[in-house]
Amino acid sequence: MTLGGFLLLLLIAGVCGSLAQAITGYSHGGCLVSIALGFIGAIVGTWLANLLGFGEILAVQVGGKSFPIVSSIIGAALFVAVLNLLKRPRPE
């Protein structure tokens, strides 16, 4: 993979992570957090889609690698929602 392809992949993951943060209302962190959420969401979303028997709904080919857009957003949103539930302060 070329440097341009890698940077494009980081950009796509960052946008997917940002969309997931917007959906869940969690906005702590910056670009690196969004990129990490995009990649984690791609892993979780692809696993969940395979578990439920769905295929890749929308995937982008970057440098010969496939990046699932919809699965990434859904997986990242679920991941952020679970983190938000675990991190919430408990009432006293």
Q: Name the residue with tokens 């341009």.
A: 4
Q: Is the pLDDT of residue 26 over 70?
A: yes
DSSP, residue by residue, 39-75? HHHHHHHHHHHHHHT---SSEEEETTEEEEHHHHHHH
- The model's pTM is 0.82
pLDDT over 90 for what percent of the chain? Answer: 1
Q: What is the pLDDT of residue 49?
A: 87
